[in-house]
Chains A and B, each alone.
Chain A
Amino acid sequence: MLTLKGISRNFPGVRALSGVNLEVRRGEIHGLLGENGAGKSTLIKIVAGALAPDEGEISFDDRPVSWSSPREAKLAGVHVVYQEFALFPQLSVAENIYLGNERRNALGLVDLRRTRRDASELMKKLGVSLDPRASVASLSVADQQMVEIARAMTHNVRLLILDEPTAVIAGREVALLFDRLRRLRNAGVSVLFISHRLDEIFALCDRVTILKDGRLVGTQDTADVTRERLITMMVGRDLGDLFPPRSAATRTDQPVLRTDTISIGDRVRDVSIELHAGEIVALAGMVGAGRSDLALGLFGAVPISSGTLHIAGKRFAAMSPARAIGLGMGLVTEDRKSQGLAMLLDIAANMTGPALGEVTRHGMIDRERETSIAAREIERYRIACRGPATPVATMSGGNQQKVVIARWARLCRSVLILDEPTRGVDVGAKAEIYRIMRELADSGLAILMISSELTEVLGMADRVIVMREGRITGELPGREATEESIMHLATSERAA
Chain B
Amino acid sequence: MTAIAARLTPPWWLRSNAGLIGVLVLIGAVSIVGATVSDRFLTLGNLLNVYEQTTDLALVSIGQTLTILSGGIDLSVGSLISLTSCLTSGLINGNPDRVLPVVAGVLALGTLVGMINAALVVALRVHPLIVTLGMGAILQGVTLLYALGPVGRVPRSFNVLAYGRIAGIPIGATVALTLCILIALLLRYLPLGRQIYALGDDANSARLVGLRRTRILMFVYGASGFCCAATGLYLAARFGVGQPYTGVNYTLASITPVVLGGTLLSGGRGGVIGTMFGAFLIALLNNLLNFMDVSKHYQLVAQAVIIILAVSIYVERRRME
Contact = CB atoms under 8 A, between A and B. Distances in A.
Interface in B160-214: 188-191, 193-195, 197-198, 201-202, 204-212
Contacts of B211: 71, 99-100
Given A91-B197, A109-B189, A85 B205 contact: yes
| Interface of chain B: mostly helix, strand, loop or mixed | helix
B202 A99 contact: no
B153 interface: no
A88 B202 contact: yes
Given A99-B194, A104-B191, A71 B201 contact: no
A110 interface: yes
A69 B205 contact: no
A110 B209 contact: no
A71 B211 CA distance: 7
B190 A99 contact: no
B205 A87 contact: yes
Contacts of A70: 207-210
A95 B205 contact: no
Interface residues of B, number: 22
A69 B269 CA distance: 26
B268 interface: yes
Contacts of A69: 207, 210
A69 to B, nearest CB: 7
Interface string B236-280: 000000000000000000000000000000001100000000000
Nearest to B201: A88
B10 to A, nearest CB: 13
A102 B194 contact: yes
A86 interface: yes
Given A70-B209, A74-B210, A99-B195, A89 B188 contact: no
A50 B209 CA distance: 10
A95 B197 CA distance: 11
| Contact residues of A: prevailing secondary structure | loop
B197 A90 contact: yes
Contacts of B188: 110, 112
Nearest to B321: A137
Given A100-B195, A110-B194, A91 B209 contact: no
A100 B190 contact: no
A100 B209 contact: yes
Contacts of A71: 210-212
A48 B207 CA distance: 11
A85 B204 CA distance: 10
A112 B191 CA distance: 11
Interface in A105-133: 109-110, 112
B210 A91 contact: no
A88 B208 contact: no
Given A100-B195, A110-B194, A90 B208 contact: no
Contacts, number: 69
Nearest to B269: A90
Nearest to A101: B191
Interface in A44-92: 48, 50, 69-71, 74-75, 80, 82, 85-91
A80 B208 contact: yes
Contacts of A112: 188-189
B201 A89 contact: yes
A interface bracket (residues with beta carbon within 8 Å of B): 20 to 34
Contacts of B210: 69-71, 74-75, 100
Nearest to B186: A109
Contacts of A80: 208
A404 B44 CA distance: 68
A86 B189 contact: no
Interface in B125-175: none
Contacts of B212: 71
A326 to B, nearest CB: 29
B264 to A, nearest CB: 8
Contacts of B206: 88
B198 A86 contact: no
A109 B209 contact: no
Contacts of A88: 197-198, 201-202, 205-206, 268
Contacts of B198: 88, 91, 95, 99
Contacts of A86: 202, 204-205, 208-209
A91 B193 CA distance: 12
B195 A91 contact: no
Given A70-B208, A74-B210, A102 B191 contact: yes
Contacts of B268: 88, 90-91
B259 to A, nearest CB: 17
A99 B268 CA distance: 14
A142 to B, nearest CB: 18
Contacts of A104: 191
Quick one: which of B201, B206, B209, B210 has the most chain A CB within 10 A? B210
A13 to B, nearest CB: 23
B208 A82 contact: yes
Interface string B199-236: 00110111111111000000000000000000000000
Contacts of B197: 88, 90-91
Contacts of A102: 191, 194
A95 B194 contact: yes
A85 B206 CA distance: 11
A91 B199 CA distance: 11
A112 B16 CA distance: 13
Contacts of B191: 100, 102, 104, 110
A359 B207 CA distance: 44
Nearest to A102: B191
Nearest to A99: B198
Contacts of A75: 210
B318 to A, nearest CB: 10
Contacts of A85: 205
A211 B197 CA distance: 39
Residue among A48, A74, A90, A112 with the most chain B CB within 10 A?
A90
A110 B205 contact: no
A99 to B, nearest CB: 5
Nearest to B268: A90
A73 to B, nearest CB: 8
A104 B195 CA distance: 14
Contacts of A89: 201-202
A71 B214 CA distance: 13
Contacts of B269: 90
Interface string B24-35: 000000000000
A91 B190 contact: no
Contacts of B207: 50, 69-70
Interface string A228-264: 0000000000000000000000000000000000000
A89 B207 CA distance: 15
Shortest beta-carbon contacts, A-B, top 4: A71-B210, A86-B208, A86-B205, A102-B191
15 contacts: A69-B207, A70-B208, A86-B208, A87-B202, A88-B205, A88-B268, A90-B268, A90-B269, A91-B198, A100-B209, A102-B191, A102-B194, A110-B193, A112-B188, A151-B209
Given A99-B194, A100-B195, A100-B210, 13 more contacts: A70-B207, A70-B208, A71-B210, A74-B210, A80-B208, A86-B202, A86-B208, A90-B197, A91-B268, A99-B198, A99-B211, A102-B191, A112-B188
